[in-house]
A and B are shown apart, each in its own frame.
Chain A
């Protein structure tokens, strides 16, 4: 990457200005308030996809993010509903719970590679759904409904975040929350990938045996990466439960897990910001095609196949190709 420091800072500032100022202004000017919900979903889904991307980065195909998103949603919902916790406290707890679960699950299954790992994680999504159906605490197929909106968060008497229920426009609040988390998440990802650990992860992606023979603790690294990935999944699931104020076993299914993976592919596996772009394009594309009615899925999947044929290395590889030419 030969982009110099100043352009990089300018790009970050421009991005922050767009998501925090330009988008809300544009939406209130155009009166399309429903777009808040769409954009919030994009932000949250891209957090979960970022997690999937991280597992791609260590050379594993992860189709199990739906399981952790579902778990995170349930952990948050149960803590809020049954134990009266504040939503803000349940958010990190949901993430940490998923991370802990993923360490336990990851220790054995991260020994698998290639399609075996992909298929086990796919099965994991089904396991999560069936568990949610079978366990007594999750209330079966009826799910957990009418979860209260997030309350106020105050530290030492200073209100940092107002009670969402008292706000006139809770959509804007959720949008800002989701976008903030997305920015934090991708900042962490960027930092992680460009750190020593990131380089080590890349060595795992290329050749685990070689990395291991040089002295890289591969078992430790891949569990860490998988735990971070699941943490993101859990957090995004928890916020989803809070926004929709409900969670069902079918809230996150195999289709969602596959979609998280597709977001990464579409954006480009070689780029940290790939999952964000991929989610935006896929989610908006799906929404835009809504007008085509019964042909929605046909056109959507057809376009996806064409995209794959033209740009098999992701949308962001386009930028690289033009840079090379220029």
Chain B
């Protein structure tokens, strides 16, 4: 029992961090970023290269992942999404662009890093084994780091000037513009931050699960799930959705073990029922 909860919390912390980036981009630009999972994979591979191959400290690798992805995110916003949003008749056109960039990243990752599963040396050795919980120390470190990042993100959004501008933008784009918020600039910063979060989680998790070029799509789907549970475009919702999904996965894998691989089937079915009762998720704004 304690084990299941501990696993759920650990999964939830990393899931919430993934969902945060996705929901931030969605809140600011109304773009469903299909490439989020691919950004995560890219971040993982950068950490793998810097920490695993070059042997530099893990912190440097994590920084490198975050910074690279932030730059990529900013460039994507400036040269791709902004242009398409301006020229297109329908907002949904950005989804084609997002899907195309997802394919593009997939191709780049495959060419640069190959299709092999990659792992790095453990950052902390040893296993915690007490009060009925068995958990390797590196998982605890990663989980704690994820929670620190989440807290930092929330505080930044709440109290910094940039965070305030972005929240205003998410609430009402036109009103924010009229109040003198530089919409283009903060959209770019927001996209960069969302991409950076994806890269940082990728860098964190490469130390535990490793990374391979094929997991981008499934990660994106999980991120969509969490955002749906919590409500699209709401920071609190993404965190809640991440922890709920992590907990459900952890409980489901234990309880439903004897029925075979049906955990996700049950989660999906539950989600559809839930969404038909509460179409905006736990705390989403109406019609996202």
Contacts and interface: CB of A to CB of B under 8 A. Distances in A.
A134 B92 contact: no
A118 B225 CA distance: 11
B279 interface: yes
Contacts of B217: 254-255
Contact of B96 (A114, A262, A270, A297): A262
Kindly state the interface size class of chain A when it binds its partner: 35 or more
A297 B221 contact: no
A303 B178 CA distance: 37
A98 B281 CA distance: 27
A114 B288 contact: yes
A300 B103 CA distance: 9
B268 interface: yes
B265 interface: yes
Interface in B270-286: 271-273, 275-276, 279-281, 284
B260 interface: yes
B111 A301 contact: no
A324 to B, nearest CB: 14
Nearest to A304: B100
Interface stretch (A20-28, A122-130, A156-164): A122-130
A119 B268 contact: no
Nearest to B91: A114
A67 to B, nearest CB: 11
Interface residues of B, number: 50
A131 interface: yes
A294 B83 CA distance: 29
Q: For chain B, what secondary structure do more than half of its interface residues adopt (helix, strand, loop), or is it mixed?
A: helix
B224 A122 contact: yes
Nearest to B103: A301
B287 to A, nearest CB: 5
Interface in B213-231: 217, 221, 224-225, 227-228
A301 B107 contact: yes
B229 to A, nearest CB: 10
A298 interface: yes
Q: For chain A, what secondary structure do more than half of its interface residues adopt (helix, strand, loop), or is it mixed?
A: helix
B152 interface: no
B22 to A, nearest CB: 11
Contact of B228 (A120, A269, A301, A313): A120
A312 interface: yes
Interface string A105-149: 100110111111011101110110011011000000000000000
Interface string B72-110: 000000001001100111101101110111011011101
B193 interface: no
A255 B242 CA distance: 24
Interface string B47-64: 000000000000000000
A313 B276 contact: no
B280 A116 contact: yes
B265 A123 contact: no
A305 B80 contact: yes
A296 B80 CA distance: 21
A118 B90 CA distance: 15
The 5 closest A-B pairs by CB, nearest first: A108-B276, A301-B103, A312-B88, A297-B107, A298-B107
16 contacts: A61-B95, A109-B276, A111-B276, A119-B227, A119-B228, A127-B265, A130-B264, A130-B265, A254-B221, A261-B95, A262-B100, A265-B95, A302-B104, A304-B103, A305-B101, A312-B84
Interface of B: 26, 32, 34, 80, 83-84, 87-90, 92-93, 95-97, 99-101, 103-104, 106-108, 110-111, 217, 221, 224-225, 227-228, 232, 260-262, 264-265, 268-269, 271-273, 275-276, 279-281, 284, 287-288
